[in-house]
Amino acid sequence: MLTQQECDFLHTRMKGTMIEALGMRFIPTDDEYAVAEMPISPATRQYLGILHGGASLTLAETIAGVGSLHLTNYDETLAVCGTEVSGSHVAMSATEGMVRGKAKLIHASKGTHVWNVDVVGENDEIISTERVTNRIIKVKKDLI
């Protein structure tokens, strides 16, 4: 879904944000998935040393948001706003390495996109699965 050029653009745009702070990187693909990876690090671990569930949700919402930006052709008159994210943590995560989120579009209309995101470890085992809903809204010029 995302080209290398889009990934490079997104990495530049995300400087100074939570996305950069958590070490997320967008991955180009030639299929219908939006993909990003994130390291398991002190910034993303919970007290037991494993990936924090909130970090998984953040990864999922970020990937779904980027997928929606792609679908809107990065139209600056539109804003992608996450309105709902829910997840099920189905396996214990590793304590180091990388996790990868893979978002697949479930529904798209003019005003709403719904995504399913699977977060997997380096062994491709699903750690959590999330559902993300984004609203696509017109941006008023005086709010930018």
61 is catalytic: yes
- When pLDDT is cut at 50, 70 and 90, the band that residue 142 belongs to is low
C-alpha separations of 91 from 40, 80, 94 in Å: 15, 30, 10
The CATH number linked to 70 is: 3.10.129.10
Report the C-alpha gap between 63 and 47 in whole angstroms.
25
User: How many degrees, rounded to 5, is the angle at CA 128 between CA 79 and CA 110?
Assistant: 25
Range of the domain at 137: 4-143
Secondary structure (3-state) at 96 = coil
Q: What is the pLDDT of residue 143?
A: 56
Structurally, the chain folds into a number of domains equal to 1
pTM for the complete prediction? Answer: 0.94
- Nearest CA-CA partner of 60 in 121, 131, 10, 111: 131
Average pLDDT of the residues in 2-26: 97
pLDDT band at 144 (very low <50, low <70, confident <90, very high): low
What b/e readout covers 120-143, taking b as 16+ CB neighbours within 10 angstroms? Answer: bbeeeeebbbbbbbbebeeeeeee
Please identify which of the residues 6, 61, 122, 125 carries the catalytic annotation: 61
pLDDT tens, position by position, 16-53: 999 999 999 999 999 999 999 999 999 999 999 999 99
pLDDT in tens, 59-80: 999 999 999 999 999 999 999 9
